[in-house]
Amino acid sequence: MKPETIAIHAGNLFKASTNDVTSPINLSTTFLRNEEGGYSGGHMYSRVSNPNRSNLEKTMADLEHGVEACAFSSGNTAGMSLFQALKPG
C-alpha cells in the first residue's frame, strides 16, 4: 500500500457499538477499573497511555512497517528513552 493509504486507515479502530468510522478524541484522564482492580481497556491514566496515543503509535508503526512505536509528550522524554535503551560506553 502507498503511505497515504496506510496513514488514512491505520490506527482507526472501528467500534461496532458506536459505528465510529474514525477514532474520537478521548478527553478522559482516568479509566474504569474492573472488579479485580485491573484496567480491562488497557489504559489507566492518560499521561501513561490513552486511546488517542495508542492510535498514533499504531499508525506510526504501520507507516514504518514496524511492529510497535512509542509516542512521547516531549522531546526530552524521547531523548532520555533513547539514551536509556543504549548500552553504556
pLDDT at 23 over 70: yes
Mean pLDDT, residues 40-60: 85
pLDDT at 80 over 80: yes
Contacts with 83 (C-beta within 8 Å, 6 or more apart), sequence order: none
> Nine-digit cell at 83?
539514551
The pLDDT assigned to 68 comes to 92
What are the two backbone dihedrals, phi and then psi, of residue 20, each rounded to the nearest 5 degrees? Answer: -65, 135
> Nine-digit cell at 47?
499521561
pLDDT at 3 over 90: no
41 in Cβ contact with 49 (< 8 Å): no
The pLDDT assigned to 13 comes to 67
Give me the residue spans of the domains in the chain.
Answer: 3-85
Nearest to 7 by CA among 64, 50, 51: 64
In three-state secondary structure terms, 3 is: helix
